[in-house]
């Protein structure tokens, strides 16, 4: 399991998923300004070099985040240990930049994975390598229940506009609506695992995703914040239950280097993006 997790981490950091590459290529076709096209051209070159040479696509190799579905008879301790060991090896062997620092001293601690365990029917690990620049634009909003999706739209647009080029656009926006707050942020992160263009199964939420995407792209922030038509490649929204008095919205942003991978352990091991 440790070796397979290591392979999946390497796949994530060196190979941008095809749906993301196609979205970046489509953005290049749509852009009209010279600077926007130039920035997208450089991004696509970086993607190609990383894949060809097997090196990380960005110097910030991200915080390794793991969502782990476990079956009732799974050895949770064994899975956690395999993830920790694989991340440690990946830091040395790929290599990954050590991105975990002590809050008090600034001392380098290596790479420390964030692991979220959830019940499931199979053993499946979803990996997200989350860059620090885009993570700095994470946000948590507490709305009144009466504000609903219109309030969510207003807050999201205001926040994306304020962030500008900081999260290295074109971005993917993940939104979680639920309570308590930690559940909302977990949903926002999980939303990023859906492919570009994949809409929510609920038609109202799917329409809301498309509406938000249009409005974000009307801001004119553009690739790397230097102006253009395409600020976001997609918007993903996930919802769960909330307290009657709470309407909490978590927002997480992923940069253009959308690094993800999946592993499923069944009769055979399957790794994909």
Q: pLDDT digits over 186-236, tens only?
A: 999 999 999 999 999 999 999 999 999 999 999 999 999 999 999 999 999
What predicted TM-score, i.e. pTM, was given to this entire model? 0.95
Q: pLDDT digits over 249-270, tens only?
A: 999 999 999 999 999 998 899 9
Tell me what the mean pLDDT of segment 88-104 comes to.
97
Q: pLDDT digits over 135-179, tens only?
A: 999 999 999 999 999 999 999 999 999 999 999 999 999 999 999
Give the pair of three-digit tokens for residue 242: 């909330």
Phi, psi of 45 (to 5 degrees): -65, -45
CATH architecture of the domain formed by 1-16+57-131+257-273:
2-Layer Sandwich (3.30)
The domain spans of the chain are 1-16+57-131+257-273, 133-256
What's the order of all strands across the beta sheet hosting 259-265?
A: 114-119, 63-70, 123-130, 259-265, 269-272
Does residue 10 surpass a pLDDT of 90?
yes
Give the pair of three-digit tokens for residue 221: 């922030």
């Amino acid at each position: 399991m440790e070796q397979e997790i290591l392979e999946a981490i390497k796949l994530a950091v060196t190979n941008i998923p095809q749906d993301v590459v196609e979205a970046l290529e489509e953005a290049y076709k749509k852009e009209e300004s010279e600077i926007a096209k130039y920035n997208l051209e450089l991004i696509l070159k970086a993607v190609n070099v990383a894949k060809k040479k097997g090196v990380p696509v960005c110097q910030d190799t991200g915080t390794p985040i793991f969502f782990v579905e476990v079956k009732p008879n799974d050895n949770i301790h064994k899975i956690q240990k395999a993830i920790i060991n694989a991340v440690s090896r990946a830091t040395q062997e790929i290599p990954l930049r050590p991105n975990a620092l002590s809050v008090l001293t600034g001392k380098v601690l290596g790479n420390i994975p964030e692991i979220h365990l959830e019940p499931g029917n199979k053993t499946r690990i979803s990996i997200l390598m989350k860059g620090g620049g885009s993570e700095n634009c994470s946000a948590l909003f507490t709305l009144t229940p009466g504000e609903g999706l219109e309030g969510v739209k207003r807050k999201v647009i205001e926040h994306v506009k304020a962030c500008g080029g900081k999260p290295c656009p074109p971005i993917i926006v993940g939104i979680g609506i639920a309570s308590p707050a930690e559940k909302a942020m977990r949903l926002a992160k999980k939303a990023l695992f859906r492919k570009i263009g994949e809409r929510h199964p609920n038609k109202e939420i799917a329409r809301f995703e498309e509406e938000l995407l249009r409005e974000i792209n009307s801001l004119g922030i553009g690739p790397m914040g230097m102006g253009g038509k395409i600020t976001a490649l997609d918007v993903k929204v996930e919802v769960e239950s909330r307290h009657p008095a709470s309407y909490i919205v978590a927002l997480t942003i992923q940069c253009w280097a959308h690094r993800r991978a999946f592993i499923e352990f069944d009769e055979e091991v399957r790794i994909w993006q």
